[in-house]
Amino acid sequence: MKTLQVDLGQRSYPIYIGSRLLEQADLLTRHIRSKQVLIVTNETVAPLYLQQVLDNLSDFVVETVILPDGEQYKTLDYLNRIFDTLLTHKFSRNASLIALGGGVIGDMGGFAAACYQRGIPFIQIPTTLLAQVDSSVGGKTGVNHPLGKNMIGAFYQPQCVIADMSVLSTLDDRQLSAGIAEVIKYGLIREPDFFAWLEDNLESLLDRDVEALAHAVERSCRNKAEVVAADEKEADVRATLNLGHTFGHAIETGMGYGSYLHGEAVAIGTCQAADLSRRKGWLTDADVERIIRLFKRARLPVEPPAALDANRFIELMAVDKKNVDGNIRLILLKSIGEATLPVGVEKALLVATLNGYGR
Ligand code: NAD
Ligand code: MG
């Protein structure tokens, strides 16, 4: 097992990475301060892993909330079910909340923990690759509002993150690839050697070799932890984690949520960002080809949907948190392994990418 530390002063916490970690009761219980524990999970994950977690908590008074599975339930209404259970069972301020599931459960569990009695300790047990490398680390929690995704939330750091590679065996292939898209992102924005490692080891990841997965999760989490430690509230460098996301969000929204997984949209968006970086004169043709090839090998889409033309893309990209005074700003690449901070782009260049790349 590897342990990484997220350095945030008094709010620092460890990330445990390894296989069969759910069998190690002590990893979990050392972070629990009272008898009362609430586990938040969903209908898909509960039959697979809830009992294993419960087995570790025989000395505790444990309640469980099992939410329906899906992004459409990441709402204030379903969040309230967590508060209902906490209050019904008279949970106190030092009770612990465990989020057992993918990013949806992690974001909701974390936000519930941030709000209940103004904050109770919580533990992340991420069960998708995406949640292990991205959403469980960094303290962004929240729910969706009908008028915007992740619009209601809080920064709230967990007590620890337990990333068990063994749980990834039940994840479907499409979800695994979607997680790999965010893994590739870390190599692209700040670690060229990691990008090269991924080129050499992609098949092992797709085969779910637990050592390869643990290595990829560790390097991804280390990168995310360093970025978050430098800029917890996204004043500057944390924005680089959004490489490919402005194009990607446009694809997710424009095509209707659910038709593309987030990681799939990010893969396409990153290829578009790479194409634009080439037009800026920063990446070479060969760099762009390397990037596209790796996403393709990871069984991810790399071309924008035909249904979205340049005008529609620009319309959708205009509603992004990074924009200033209505001007679209993007994370681009200076090279493989070095991202820019958000930069304004000439409209003509953006249009050239939107009409030229993958069309
Ligand atoms: P998800 O939570 O919907 O999980 C994907 C699917 O996999 C679900 O059907 C889930 O039930 C299933 N699943 C989970 N673990 C499984 C397992 N071990 N075996 C089999 N099936 C399993 O989606 P996700 O991709 O994990 O996360 C996406 C969410 O994360 C979005 O809501 C997004 O906004 C959020 N997110 C948050 C951050 C952050 O910083 N907080 C970062 C990235 C994404
Ligand atoms: Mg993302």
Atom of ligand 1 nearest to the CA of 69: 11
**ipTM, 2 decimals?**
0.99
The yes-or-no verdict on residue 268 having pLDDT over 90 is: yes
Give the residue-averaged pLDDT of 229-256: 95
Nearest CA to ligand 1 atom 17: 171
Atom 43 (ligand 1): residue with closest C-alpha?
A: 135
Cβ of 150 less than 6 Å from ligand 1: yes
Average pLDDT taken over every residue of the chain: 96
Alpha-carbon Rg for the chain in angstroms: 20
**Nearest ligand, CA 183:** 2
Q: Which pairs count as long-range contacts for 256-265, CB under 8 Å and 24+ apart, including other chains?
A: 257/71, 257/149, 258/71, 260/301, 260/305, 261/174, 261/175, 261/178, 262/130, 262/178, 263/130, 263/177, 263/178, 263/179, 263/180, 263/181, 263/182, 263/300, 264/174, 264/177, 264/178, 264/181, 264/300, 264/301
Distance from C-alpha of 109 to C-alpha of 270, rounded to nearest angstrom: 29
Mapped onto helix, strand or coil, the DSSP state of residue 71 is helix
* pLDDT tens-digit readout, 143-181: 998 888 888 999 999 999 999 999 999 999 999 999 999
Hey, which of 128, 164, 261 would you mutate to test ligand 1's pocket, going by the most ligand atoms within 8 Å of its Cβ? 128
Convert the pLDDT of each residue in 43-58 to its tens digit: 999 999 999 999 999 9
Do 28 and 123 meet the contact criterion of CB atoms below 8 Å apart? yes
What pTM did the predictor assign?
Answer: 0.96
List, for residues 171-183, the tens digit of each pLDDT value.
Answer: 999 999 999 999 9
Secondary structure (3-state) at 202: helix
- Residue 104 exposure: Cα atoms within 13 Å on the Cβ side: 21
Going along 106-232, which residue ranges are E strands?
Answer: 122-126, 140-145, 148-155, 160-164
Q: Where are the alpha helices (DSSP H) in 280-346?
A: 285-297, 310-317
Q: Is a pLDDT exceeding 90 seen at residue 326?
A: no
CB-based contact 92:37 (threshold 8 Å): no
